[in-house]
Amino acid sequence: MRDERQTRPRRTRRGIIAGLVATLVLSLGGATGWALDRFVVRHVEIADVAAYEASQAASAEATDEATEGTARAAEVTDDSYTSDDTSISISQVTQGSGDDTVTYYVADVTIDDATQLRSAFADNQFGENITDLVSTIATDNDAVLAINGDYYGFRDSGIVIRNGVVYRDDPARTGLAIYTDGSMRVYDETATTADELLTDGVWQTLSFGPALVTGGEVVSGIDDVEIDTNVGNHSIQGEQPRTAIGIIDENHFVFVVVDGRETGYSRGVTMTELAGIMQGLGATEAYNLDGGGSSELWFNGEVVNQPSNGGERATSDILYIG
């Protein structure tokens, strides 16, 4: 596995850039100013996520449980991690040849408690257009394994529950719910509320899609799905780098990152092909996360895959095992 880590961006430099962008937004006005404000300028809604989660009684209790095992002895190799409560195995799969080559990476994860599957936001902040490298977010949170999340910060809709805490309740699409009992289900955001999901025991939600596999069967028509109607994210069709999460059994998850856009190494996959990969791995439920240049698998201090734009792309959130 190659170490593709990049030097962490300097906070002072990023602050200067953010200030310059804000000044540009104010000076431009009109459609250009709106677009920069909507998709570039940081809008911080919660400045200290860790403190916010700690203030929620249920979340604080779950956090104690989730981090209890982090000090236990673990056996770590280049492609595995084993402790008393966690088992992680990393593998690379290459199929096809020439222009039809597809390369993807699989993280097979078994945990004792679903609350060990955690989420973290860039810069420990919640809001729009707040981003950082997966490696940085993972390191900041003492992760062993991490994948990019749903890039919640690109949009202002969806149900966002992370680590048992509600951050956003604006139903918009087909979502994914991970429960404290170790199960995972695809659901219709518009048919429920965040509070109802919490009552039902939801620990994490992801809001991207589409659903890939439900009840062990590949979902039909997924190659024609449009996720959002906002600028820059209308469709996710064609052969692309992908990130997906699936569940095989209670507390037994599988993360898949497919590389793409590199002839002879990996062309990427269609959504139906991705669903087939997840089904072939035994996933009974599977869901597509943010892809393209964001697709990344990080393990034990290294970027495992080869992101399509030559290095890590900053994103708003990760899923991780600590």
What are the pLDDT digits (tens) for 138-195? 999 999 999 999 999 998 999 999 999 999 999 999 999 999 999 999 999 999 999 9
Residue 39 belongs to some domain of the structure: no
* Torsion-angle region of 232 (φ positive above 0: left; ψ -120 to 50: alpha; else: beta): left
pTM as predicted: 0.87
Residue 6 belongs to some domain of the structure: no
- Give the Cα separation of 25 and 86 in Å (integer): 47
- Give the Cα separation of 19 and 122 in Å (integer): 18
Interval 186-226: pLDDT, tens: 999 999 999 999 999 999 999 999 999 999 999 999 998 87
> Strand order in 202-206's β-sheet?
184-188, 174-179, 202-206
Residue 261 belongs to some domain of the structure: yes
Residue 114 belongs to some domain of the structure: yes
Residue 33 belongs to some domain of the structure: no
- Give the Cα separation of 55 and 166 in Å (integer): 12
Q: Where in the sequence is the domain holding 77, given as residue range(s)?
A: 45-321
Number of domains the chain contains = 1
Give the per-residue pLDDT at 20.
55
Residues facing residue 244 across a β-bridge: 256, 288
Residue 29 belongs to some domain of the structure: no
Give the per-residue pLDDT at 5.
36
Structure tokens at 230: 């906002």
- Give the Cα separation of 2 and 92 in Å (integer): 12
Residue 109 belongs to some domain of the structure: yes
Backbone angles phi, psi at 247, to 5 degrees: -125, 135
Amino acid at position 226, single letter: E
Residue 3 belongs to some domain of the structure: no
| Low-confidence stretches of the chain (pLDDT beneath 70) | 1-31, 34-35, 57-72, 228-235
Give the per-residue pLDDT at 227.
74
Give the per-residue pLDDT at 13.
45
- Give the Cα separation of 253 and 246 in Å (integer): 6
| Helical ranges in 40-167 per DSSP H | 49-54, 57-67, 134-140
